[in-house]
Amino acid sequence: MKFSTKAVHAGVEPDPSTGAIMTPIFQTSTYVQSAPGHHKGYEYSRTHNPTRTALQRALAALENGKHGLCFATGMASIDAVVKLLKPGDEVVSTNDLYGGTYRLFTKIFEPFGVKFTFVDMGDPANVAAAITPKTKLVWVETPTNPTLRIVDIAAMAKLTQGKDMLLAVDNTFASPYLQNPLDLGADIVMHSVTKFLGGHSDVVMGALIVNDDDLADRLAFIQNSCGGTPGPQDCFLVLRGLKTLHLRMERHCSNGRAIAEWLAKHPKVGRVYWPGFPSHGNHDVAKRQMRDFGGMMSFTIKGDKLEDATKFLSSCKLFTLAESLGGVESLMGHPASMTHASIPREVRLRSGVTDSLIRLSVGVEDAGDLIDDLEQALA
């Protein structure tokens, strides 16, 4: 089945009791048993809920995976992956990554005895050099948040496969429309469902997708034991959002291209970070592992002054200043003071998160209107 057909149909069946074409919101905490242990596959909604089951199946299908697991937030899903580890284990991670992930790794799990090494994954040799006999997880984010670096997933899989080591890929920025890490050898795909999958800025959720049955069981055990699961209303909203994922992504990509190319020519703009440019450091890898380049990009204002960035951010009218990304409406953010504020200044400067860096999540509005908005704000 092709992607667009899966986006509309995967995981969902008409409700057997009524024929309702949309999966109902099963707003129930528990399920009646006819005798102890005699039930219809559902006992308690932390463990299973039919609305969540439909969504988990849909997400697994979109990522060409066997098992999907949903969590209350993207962070709860990353938390579940790290809980597969034990004290003394080591993780090698991207050095440019979402600030919340960095915070979870360094502030929550390091005190429990898990060691994290952050490297520039643009060159697989850096990862190979950081792997030790204690490394049990390689954590990749690609494209990275916020400087849109690209990590070669297949090259990472060559380093981890056949060893007692998992490869996990945060696929939030690409969405399954652009990239399927399991097909490239990853063991776990993670999504902040909050973003492109939900697509309408009305839900916070996370998901993991895997192929291996035993790994799925271990993650489901953590999901149920730790309890960071989403409610059925949120699952319904994401099921609804998924049905237009392919249509939204087409427009995010075409608008993204138009805006990235326009920004690159603007005299007041410094650097533009977008993997679709042939001059992007890992454009060849992006071309190989992604179907298009998406609507996420970052840029600096010439001179790299914080006050210029602040003025620009307060002058846009269509682009809204807000955390998050991947919704139908265009958003912009200032990573240094917003999404990546939890990363120490000297660490973020090393990965290009300078004071004037502005991140755009290009929405599905008219590209000309969006460009007019950027033009007047830059003026």
Q: Catalog residues that contact ligand P1T under the rule CB under 6 A.
A: 73-75, 98, 100-101, 141, 145, 170, 172-173, 192, 194, 204, 206, 323-325, 333, 339
Q: Whole-number minimum distance, CB 147 to ligand P1T, in Å?
A: 12
Nearer to ligand P1T, 85 or 204 (CB): 204
**Residues classed as catalytic:** 46, 98, 170, 195
Nearer to ligand P1T, 98 or 177 (CB): 98
- Asked, as a colleague might, if the bond just before 143 is cis with ω within 30 of 0, I would say yes
Encode burial over 60-83: b for 16+ CB neighbours within 10 A, e otherwise.
Answer: bbbbbbebbbbbbbbbbbbbbbbb
Cα–Cα distance measured from residue 187 to residue 134, given in angstroms and rounded to the nearest whole number: 18
Q: What six digits make up the tokens of 74? A: 């993207």
Q: Whole-number minimum distance, CB 98 to ligand P1T, in Å?
A: 4
Q: What six digits make up the tokens of 85? A: 């580890």
Nearer to ligand P1T, 95 or 101 (CB): 101
70 pairs with which residues across the strands?
Answer: 207
Cα–Cα distance measured from residue 216 to residue 62, given in angstroms and rounded to the nearest whole number: 17
Task: Tell me if 98 sits within 8 A of 170, measured CB to CB.
Answer: yes
Neighbours of 96 (CB within 10 A): 28
Angle formed by the axes of helices 367-378 and 245-265, nearest 10°: 40
Q: Whole-number minimum distance, CB 82 to ligand P1T, in Å?
A: 13
Q: Whole-number minimum distance, CB 361 to ligand P1T, in Å?
A: 8
Query: Of 31, 12, 9, 8, nearest to 23 (Cα)?
Result: 12
Task: Tell me if 117 sits within 8 A of 130, measured CB to CB.
Answer: yes
The residue assigned the tokens 């291209």 is 257
Nearer to ligand P1T, 106 or 324 (CB): 324
Q: Whole-number minimum distance, CB 192 to ligand P1T, in Å?
A: 3
The torsion region of residue 37 among left (phi > 0), alpha (psi -120 to 50) and beta comes to: left
Q: Whole-number minimum distance, CB 101 to ligand P1T, in Å?
A: 6
Neighbours of 57 (CB within 10 A): 16
Cα–Cα distance measured from residue 219 to residue 306, given in angstroms and rounded to the nearest whole number: 43
Q: Whole-number minimum distance, CB 193 to ligand P1T, in Å?
A: 7
Nearer to ligand P1T, 173 or 177 (CB): 173
Task: Tell me if 127 sits within 8 A of 103, measured CB to CB.
Answer: no
Position with the least CB separation from ligand P1T: 74
Nearer to ligand P1T, 224 or 324 (CB): 324
